[in-house]
Each structure stands twice: as C-alpha cells, then as structure tokens.
Structure 1
C-alpha cells in the first residue's frame, strides 16, 4: 500500500499519552502499510533497554522473551551499538540474525516470523525502538519496506517526542534515582536481592514463583544497568547513603 503523504498518519499518532498507547496507535496506522500483525516497542528515553511493550501478542510471550530471548536478541545488540549511526536507522531481523545467530530460532511458536525495527531518536540519542512483526505466511520485509520505514521514521520520532514530553509533565522528577524505571514489585525484589536473599527465599517472602522472581531480577539488572547482585547492592547502598546525607 503506497503512501504519497506520510503526514497522513499524523492524526492517529497525535494523542497517545503513554509509550504503550503510542505503540498501539503506531501499529494501527502502519499495519495496512507493512502487513504487520503485531509490534514490540522499547521505551529507551530514560536510558538502557528500558520498558518493553508487546502489542497483539499472546500473554505468555513477554515472559518468554524476558527469560529466554532478550539476552541474545540481535535487535537489542543493534540498538545498543550500530544503530547509533544515522544510516542504520532501520533493520530487518533476518539481516541481523545472519550476522549474529544464523541458525538459532528467536521467535517462538506463536506465528511470528519477520521483524522490521525502526530506531527513534531525539537528536542523536535513541529514545525508542518500534519493531513491526509479520506472521510467517506474509514473507519477510524487503528493501522497499526498509526505505518506506526510513521515510516515516521522522514522523514517528516527532510523535513519540510529544508522548515523552507529556509524560515528563505529569510525572514527578526522579533526578538520578537508579530505581526510577522499576515497577513497585521490581523495586521490592531489587532490595531483597541486594540484601542477599536467594530467588527461592524472595519467592517465599512474596508468595511468587521462583521463575517469576528470576525474570524480575533480570529486568532489575537491565533497567539499573548493573551486571549482577553485587553491583546492584552497591548501587542501592550508594543511593541510600546519598539520601541519608541530603
């Protein structure tokens, strides 16, 4: 479906007030253009991989991604590295897999097969990534899709910039708080893990399965930029000392 005026998408993207709503609106607008049945949006405006939003996926897919795929996801590696070059603003998963994991399946048995990711910037910093996903029967994205995605990217960047501006206007300032990106439960898990409790012990304390705790610990490390519990404990300790001295 050709688009002669990319700004025609603007009405659908002008009102979303949260990253999740932005992702849903973007998929509604772009679905007939790219034949994408679902999407994943990574909100990176606070730094790092940030919060991910899964649009039109089965409920179990997000947990599976966090537990089994995220650590070896070539899209994430691309966003952390090569995508910072302006000429690398759009990438197909099939291309990234050929370079990194040619024989390893990344998409689970839920019908998804092909991914086209657009890196969204504020100035030169990547603040978000929209991954459009096609079902297996649709075939892979091609060079025409990539060129079209590049032409639409400035509109998406402008729309998402409005979302982050509205979010900043209604959210309290978090300053340099390393825990600002964590959910309430993740903050609780982080403090227990930093205190030396094992996953099984935390699971018993919070009446949650150890598998869920494992996923939350991984999310905590990603969002705080720490590599292990020792670094997490040091980070939380420095935050606590800073608060005590203020």
Structure 2
C-alpha cells in the first residue's frame, strides 16, 4: 500500500492555532486577560514550556500583548501587519513591476474614495504633509518619507480598513523605487510635489475624477522614473532597501 507519512503539527502550534481561533471568534475580547501558563497547561494537558512557545507565537502575531505579568488580547496594528506583509512579499521576490501594477489599481481607488469621504481634519493633515514635502524639496532633500506618508493619509481618508491594510505593504515597497529615482532625476521632487498639490486640490473640492487622474499620472511618472534610473522592472525588490 502507498501510505503517506502523517504530517503532525508540534503541540505548541496546536495550542497557538486553537487560541488564535478563539480570539478571532470573539470568545475572548480585546483587553481581556487570558488564563495563566499553568492554567492553560492543565486545560490542554501539555507542559508549560509548550504553552509558553504557543503564546510567544501569538505575541509575535500581535494578538497578545503583555501588561505587567498578564497577557491580554490585542488587535494587531496596521503598521505591524504592513511590516510583516512587506517582509513576506520581499521574501517571495516580488518585482518592481508587480508592485507598480498593484499600486496602479489600489492608489487611484484610494484617491476616489478619499475624495468622496475625506473630513476637514484629514484634509488639514494632508495639507500639512504637503507643506513638509515642499520644504524638503526646496532644501534639495529626498521626499521619499513624506511621499509614503501622503499616500497613507489619503488611504486613511477612505475609511475602508480592508483597503488600508491591502495597500500599506505595497506602498512601503515603492520606497525602493523612489530612492532610486531621486538621485537619477533631481527634478522628480518638483514633479511629485505638483501631483500631490493637484491631488490635494481635488480632495478639497471632493472631485473624485480629478483625484484619480492625478494619482494615475503620478504612478506613470513613477514607472518612467524607475526605468530612467536604470531599474529592471522585472527584478525582485532587494531586501533591506
């Protein structure tokens, strides 16, 4: 008989998976303390070391956090999820083209929804970002960080959690392209600033069509800039960039 070997999970993974499902189902809520290691070990019938390793997995995933000696349920922060997804995408060797294609769909959608939903406070935050970007460009410095922040502020104004989580790691991966473009095209800062000014104007007027148009124009410029800087669009984005 052809019999496949059993694929048995380590006990700590069984524990962490079961606790993860209970958290997701809402059996324990955000801020609730979970039982102690000793209590969990007795309930699951395993050693405390097994429980400790299972809990460590959940801490790393952002589902548990320490408050003194207690472990309480928490909701992973957007930044933690984005960083983890970015690392995974790099390890899967996503290319500059992969990232540009996805951004070309997600960022215009963000601009459209933001134009329809943005609040006065959110408009003020975008305007402040634009002022910082203008000062950075005028000083001849890289505007990469403020550009990533601008995109994040527009995404937050969509009030769509799924969209924000989907586009965050992609936006972070675009940093590598911006970093290559800036020294190769000194005028890129002014072009970027112009696009952002038009996007802000469209958001202030709640003009979704114009916001989408200028976001797409900026993304076309991004791709051309990558090519001019000598980047191979089909090359994986390197780690640590």
User: Do Structure 1 and Structure 2 share a fold, with TM-score over 0.5?
Assistant: no
Q: TM-score range by the shorter chain?
A: under 0.3
Higher strand share: 1
- TM-score with structure 1 setting the length: 0.24
